A = this chain, B = another copy of it.
Amino acid sequence: MIRFSKKIEYALGTLQFLGLHQNTPISARELSIKLKIPYEFLSKTLQQLARSGIVIANYGIKGGYHLAKKPSEIHFSDIIDALDENASVVDCVDGLEASCERYNYCNIKNPLLELQSKIFELIRSTTLEDLLKDFKSTKFDVANLDC
């Protein structure tokens, strides 16, 4: 199996929402309710995104989170990195041979690394803007969206 984790899905949905409301900070609590994501989990995810400079945290009574950059500058690969996940099809990527016990006698790694770099390129070239363009093109009334 090869799949995005829930954490990544949550992050994508959240960033999309923030992208639709770029002017005002939105609290983790509100995001959690609107997007039906467990608060503590989302909260921690937002903290990770903040540490990586993808969103900005605003403290205080009217605080919340907002995007730190333009949607077109937020690559999926950045998001995955920020969440400490990785998109490697195999373990032995980072040159850390130790990461896989069969590294030395493994004859499939090179072709797999090739495939992986192609997948990486796809993920890198997808940005938050791709999550927003449907809304743009259909001129959705953002204010009235449940989500």
Contact = CB atoms under 8 A, between A and B. Distances in A.
A90 B126 contact: no
Interface string A90-114: 1100000000001001111011101
Interface stretch (A22-30, A40-48, A80-88): A80-88
A141 interface: no
Contacts of A56: none
A107 B3 contact: no
Interface size on A, as a range, is: 35 or more
A115 B107 contact: no
Contacts of A112: 4, 12
Interface in A94-147: 102, 105-108, 110-112, 114-115, 118-119, 122-123, 126, 130-131, 133-135, 145-147
Interface of A: 1-5, 9, 12-13, 16, 36, 76, 85-91, 102, 105-108, 110-112, 114-115, 118-119, 122-123, 126, 130-131, 133-135, 145-147
Smallest CB-CB A-B distances: 6 pairs: A2-B87, A111-B130, A1-B85, A105-B147, A4-B89, A2-B2
